[in-house]
Chains A and B, each alone.
Chain A
């Protein structure tokens, strides 16, 4: 980047320390330069970037795979009607998956922080133990929460198992909590005050301008009005459809599978519907466990199917 470029106004608008979208674009560019495939968000409701088939399914099997993408993530229970300065029912994760995990993954991660304006010469960066487990995905891994001056800004995980299958080779997964990171680099205490587009004055668009109304409406929906009967039947339908597609996809004495991805979509669907039911408070403690188990069974079956596809390394 030349000095002239840096002084250009549209460049400073995209400074990751000044604009939310600038932060996203910087991370995308950084990981693109590392050879990652830059994907777009998955077009379904998910609870975290990990659910994207580009992570869950691609983490399985022998093939190398490097990808990065933003994933809007929905956590119906975390909604606070837009009244909490940092809790949201919908937020963005930036997800990087590198398979096999390269030996310099920690260094790459720290360089990505540098790219968005977090300089290790000024800040205290730490890797603090945090084992990751997703009961619904039947997945676990070891790694850290990454701290910047005492704040968790990312999750760093070496996947050991996904969908109940051992990951070999191991994928390295980085998940940046974009809002939190942006609040830190912009020096903002309330998520809705984030500068979204990097402009000032009349042209400035804040995170609140974009998402506050949605937070209020979805909180109402998630906690008070989401149609419980419909959701219960949707869960059953998604579960049944997932099984149906899985059964239909097996070909040639169960050696190959031809519909792992559509089946997995239904697993994602069931998971999100479960999260909504949970937020509505209509699932008891004991039932909760059994729902999680049902989703995990779907995820496992999808993982098994994926391993029998070309992407999963089957020949």
Chain B
């Protein structure tokens, strides 16, 4: 079967868009082929800085023939209806139609044969559609044309034909560009036109013309050559996958070269050297295999085989890197002249958020909170406060101004240089962590205190000004902040109830907001806010059970109480959601997470997780499974009966009303199991609590075996037995809400 070769040759496509564009091209063309009845065998897309290419193998030469049945009017229908049918079906006389019968009688039917069209014609329609509607993240016009493409599109190759024959050119034109079989080689080394036939000769001819079509191969060439060059010097490449992909998208013919810079620059922190060389020059850095320190060499990837073997190119790159590193060194040395705390005044002029005050106001809040949190995480309060004070000061350093990704890292270097305690210096860097799912979690207590304080302040702040994440929008990365807190707490096994911290974090922010909105005295406002929050906190515990966020119509009322309530309820609910996502990603059953979250007063993340784990283990046992089944049976009965009688069967059963031994035994065991479970819970021994509840199982089984709940003639006895069933529900509620657990 024939193959399609397509190439869209343009001016340089931005590296970051290339991979996606290749995938889009493949998908758009093949989807349309399939929609047109042209089911293909395989397809692969390629991309270089100047071309997007697609090869589709095994496309049928023609679309399959199609038959379409068209139902007409009844036999004997008015003449107008018959005439209309003839016209729409393309018939000359009604004799050409068949007559068929259904329940209502005879009607006309015509079968229209639609012969499949040659695939090449269909492709000639598909490709221009794809080109015109291509989903580039940013497209442009050029010259006097109206077509849009990522950069000016120059030529199109489109050939179609079986392996054994010369393929045909697919005939179409897009905005004056006529598809053909001519492409061009490397911009400088082989710019001549090349005639191509199909994928295999296309790839070979391009390779001869100094173009490696496959981006994965270019990346591989770069990586291999870079490693070899490094190895020959006793060095190791500092691998960088996103840089590798980017560089592979900047060249059609990768030529890997090594340059050198002055040893003296190695005094600058290695992160700075790497950022400088990477961001500005898109070059790789190297390290000494023995010392693990950066070497005064770099790897550059050129796009051409220069006549002098690359001497001029290396010299040019070395000069640029020298200038960049000189700038970096200058920034570094300038920064070292100012103590970090002396940068605070500058931060007071920088707005963190219009509604949340300056960076300095924020720093002061974090300082207070870090100090408060310190004892609970085992940190020295004074050191935590110091680290929080200095944590953001490097934001106004020259270096971070130049390379924002070095925030924190530079603060650590500057902190060390000015003789700060090592834990303080490290906390300046680590308080931003974890920055993403793969980032490490701080474990040093001072870092932990500041990291938590920073994140709680962020959450409380944006909650207070109602800038919560919605749907896919989370501009202030609040999900990441909450997840960061969760990971820090869990991975460090911290006992840290969320509510009091969130309360403490919110207080100064609410006080500030109220002060501004009411124009009142701050200290007075602070006390009002404290009272409001204390009040509101009682309601937090309830809100944890319902993690779904309801749109409360009263939420918008400009009432401090309402604002405080919304803030509190939402923030805790948000943590619950994030924890669920986190635990689910770790493989926990979401119904078990729900079952634990439904319990009251759950704001201790570590405890919640332990409960979920204990519950999961319990449900794996026979006792657990049977007890769950018994629980379900009991609640089903109660639910049905409660609905029938329109009353609820809660409250203690009457011990004197028991008639059978099974009733008494169950009631007794419930009593002891509840007490045992309560004691175990008190000791946070969740496994023992589960075991205590598990003791119910044979008694529940026996009860269902021998006792009739719905006794026909004794309403009092029936009610007592229903109440006993309810006791099972109550007893299990000590460890989890079993109603949330799936079968």
Hey, which bits of chain A sit against chain B, CB under 8 A?
85-86, 100-103, 106, 120-129, 131, 141-144, 148-151, 158, 160, 168-170, 172, 184, 189, 284-286
Contacts and interface: CB of A to CB of B under 8 A. Distances in A.
A148 B300 CA distance: 13
A158 B152 contact: yes
B647 to A, nearest CB: 63
B143 A149 contact: no
Interface in B315-350: 315-317, 319-323, 326, 349-350
B306 A124 contact: yes
Q: For the complex, would chain B's binding face be called helix, strand, loop or mixed by DSSP majority?
A: loop
B320 A151 contact: yes
A170 B350 contact: no
Contacts of B308: 122
A126 B312 CA distance: 15
Interface stretch (B7-15, B236-244, B480-488, B712-720): B7-15
Interface stretch (B134-142, B287-295, B376-384, B579-587): B134-142
B225 to A, nearest CB: 15
Nearest to A149: B316
Interface of B: 11-12, 14-16, 49, 138, 140-144, 150-152, 154, 188, 250-251, 281-283, 300, 302-304, 306-308, 312-313, 315-317, 319-323, 326, 349-351, 354
Contacts of B320: 149-151
Given A101-B143, A172-B142, 17 more contacts: A100-B142, A123-B306, A123-B312, A123-B313, A124-B303, A127-B11, A128-B250, A129-B12, A129-B15, A131-B138, A142-B140, A149-B312, A149-B317, A151-B319, A151-B320, A158-B152, A170-B142
Contact of B316 (A121, A131, A150, A172): A150
Contacts of A129: 12, 14-16
Contacts of B282: 128, 150
A289 to B, nearest CB: 12
Contacts of A121: 188, 306-307
A103 B152 contact: yes
Contacts of A149: 312-313, 315-317, 320
Contact of B317 (A106, A150, A168, A170): A150
A86 B308 CA distance: 28
Given A127-B12, A128-B250, A103 B143 contact: yes
A126 B304 CA distance: 10
Contact of B142 (A101, A122, A124, A184): A101
Contact of B250 (A101, A102, A126): A126
A184 to B, nearest CB: 7
Nearest to A187: B319
21 contacts: A100-B142, A101-B152, A121-B188, A122-B308, A123-B316, A124-B306, A124-B313, A124-B316, A125-B303, A125-B304, A128-B12, A129-B14, A141-B140, A142-B138, A149-B316, A150-B281, A158-B142, A169-B143, A170-B143, A170-B144, A184-B319
B144 A100 contact: yes
B15 A285 contact: no
Contact of B140 (A125, A128, A148, A160): A160
A189 B322 contact: yes
A290 to B, nearest CB: 14
B313 A168 contact: no
A177 B138 CA distance: 26
A13 B308 CA distance: 26
B154 A103 contact: yes
Contact of A120 (B138, B251, B304): B304
Nearest to A144: B12
- Interchain residue pairs A-B with the least CB separation, the first 8: A149-B316, A129-B14, A127-B12, A124-B302, A150-B317, A169-B144, A142-B140, A100-B143
A209 to B, nearest CB: 22
A158 to B, nearest CB: 5
A21 to B, nearest CB: 23
B144 A122 contact: no
Contacts of A131: 138
A101 B349 CA distance: 45
Contacts of A172: 142
A127 B10 CA distance: 12
Contacts of A169: 143-144
Given A121-B307, A150-B321, A189-B323, A160 B313 contact: no
B151 to A, nearest CB: 7
A123 B16 CA distance: 24
A58 to B, nearest CB: 16
A125 B188 contact: yes
B150 to A, nearest CB: 8
A124 B188 CA distance: 10
Contacts of B250: 126, 128
Nearest to B300: A150
Given A158-B140, A286-B351, A122 B306 contact: yes
A100 B141 CA distance: 11
B326 A85 contact: yes
A128 B322 CA distance: 21
B143 A86 contact: no
A141 B138 CA distance: 10
B258 to A, nearest CB: 13
A165 to B, nearest CB: 13
A272 B304 CA distance: 42
Nearest to B188: A120
B360 to A, nearest CB: 15
Contacts of A284: 349
Contacts of B303: 124-126
Contacts of B140: 141-142, 158, 160, 170
Contacts of A141: 140
A126 B315 CA distance: 16
B307 A170 contact: no
Given A131-B138, A142-B138, A124 B143 contact: no
Nearest to B191: A107
A139 to B, nearest CB: 13
Nearest to A87: B327
B87 to A, nearest CB: 45
A148 B250 CA distance: 13
Contacts of B16: 129
Given A100-B143, A122-B308, A189 B319 contact: yes
Given A123-B316, A150-B281, A86 B323 contact: yes
A122 B11 contact: no
Nearest to B317: A150
A186 B302 CA distance: 22
Contacts of A127: 11-12, 49
B65 to A, nearest CB: 44
A184 B319 CA distance: 9
A59 B527 CA distance: 62
Contacts of B141: 158, 160, 168, 170
Contacts of A286: 351, 354
Contacts of B316: 123-124, 148-151, 184
Nearest to B314: A149
Contacts of A102: 143
A233 B319 CA distance: 45
